Amino acid sequence: MTELLDITMVGGQAIQKRLDQVQANAPKVADNMAEGMARVYERGMKRRCPVGRTGATRGSIHVLKPEEAERTVGPNSVHAMFLEFGTGLHTEYEGAVPHRIKPIHGKFLAWTSYSGRGLKGGTSVVVRSTAGMHAQPFVRPTYHEDTPAAVRAGNMQGKLTLLKGLK
């Protein structure tokens, strides 16, 4: 003889209500998670970015929001790529051929030095060619070193948003 088991669920409507609230808040939770992660990466890049005379590259590091729950973080300065990957013989850019930098028009390259290599700021430099600049990466190290902190920040923002939505 088979016995039947009767189960009575108490509070089923309350559980369904909570699940509906979680589902309704999911896009906002995802958006806040992305924002939390992006802010960690932004701070890391700004902290690691080499600062020249104007600070333009550091100032160009921003968080953009192309869509909900999506963020793009990084510099939009024209110099950022040269800082990140180097130039000339020192390039680390994938697919680039290391080479000496030579003038296209004329016989000399000329620029004003702002610091480094024993030169005082404002020193004029004139050369026939240059080996280029070593990379001073700040985007790649931020990604590799700050990802655990970014994930923690994103999770925390998501949890806070979820809890606020369940009140």
pTM of the model: 0.81
pLDDT at 6: 76
Please write the tens of the pLDDT for every residue from 72-116: 999 999 899 999 999 999 999 999 999 999 999 999 999 887 766
Please write the tens of the pLDDT for every residue from 10-59: 777 887 887 888 888 889 999 999 999 999 999 999 999 998 878 999 99
pLDDT at 89: 95
**Element holding 111 (H helix, E strand):** strand 109-113
CA distance 92 to 125: 25
Three-class secondary structure of residue 73 per DSSP: strand
